[in-house]
Amino acid sequence: MKQGKLIIFSAPSGAGKTTIVKHLLKKFPSLCFSISATTRESRGDEVNEKDYYFISKEDFLHRVARQEFVEFEEVYNGTFYGTLRSEIERIWNDDKHVIFDIDVEGGLRLKRKYEQDALAIFVQPPSLEVLKERLSGRGTDSQEKLQERFIKAEKELGYADKFDVILKNFDLETACAEAEKLVGDFIKR
């Protein structure tokens, strides 16, 4: 099997990492998005096998038992997310580098596993207040789900300095330009 690199974008949900990752995918044809498996329901216009592999909890736990995940997390109570080994292999075999949009603990786990082949970037929102506004503005989650996301976000902000780089997302255009530079330099190495 061939081995490419791993570019990990982690942040609390709502920090803007998905937008930055989508921007990079347009800029760099040598990158491919790692489609995670999840047990949550699809939201809005999300597409199965493009945004996520939406699978049942039973299927997810079978895959855990068969050690099919390089990392997985019960990100929210009862809701699992994970990166399948087969997903990374698929992308490397296609001669591409893998780019991840993943929670903070999952991101750090991948960094520990792949070390210098991985670049772990923490996307920092302007403040917890802004993050809360963005999450509420989506209008896709119940109050209970939102509270859970707020609590997790607050905890995750404390992990920033464990990453290779902290990318401030105070202004989206600036953040995208900085991300381009970081990723461009890393895949050239």
| Interface with ligand 5GP (CB under 6 A) | 13, 36, 40, 71, 73, 75, 81-83, 101-103, 106
**Nearest distance, CB of residue 102 and ligand 5GP, angstroms:** 4
Contact status, residue 156 vs residue 104, Cβ threshold 8 Å: yes
Closer Cβ to ligand 5GP, 71 or 91, answer by number: 71
Closer Cβ to ligand 5GP, 81 or 122, answer by number: 81
**Nearest distance, CB of residue 100 and ligand 5GP, angstroms:** 7
Closer Cβ to ligand 5GP, 47 or 188, answer by number: 47
Give the span between the Cα atoms of 164 and 75, in whole angstroms.
Answer: 22
Helix axis angle, 143-157 to 128-138, nearest 10°:
150
Closer Cβ to ligand 5GP, 67 or 188, answer by number: 67
Contact residues for 76 (Cβ-Cβ < 8 A; gap 6+):
40, 145, 148, 149, 152
Give the span between the Cα atoms of 113 and 77, in whole angstroms.
Answer: 25
Residue nearest ligand 5GP, CB atom distance: 106
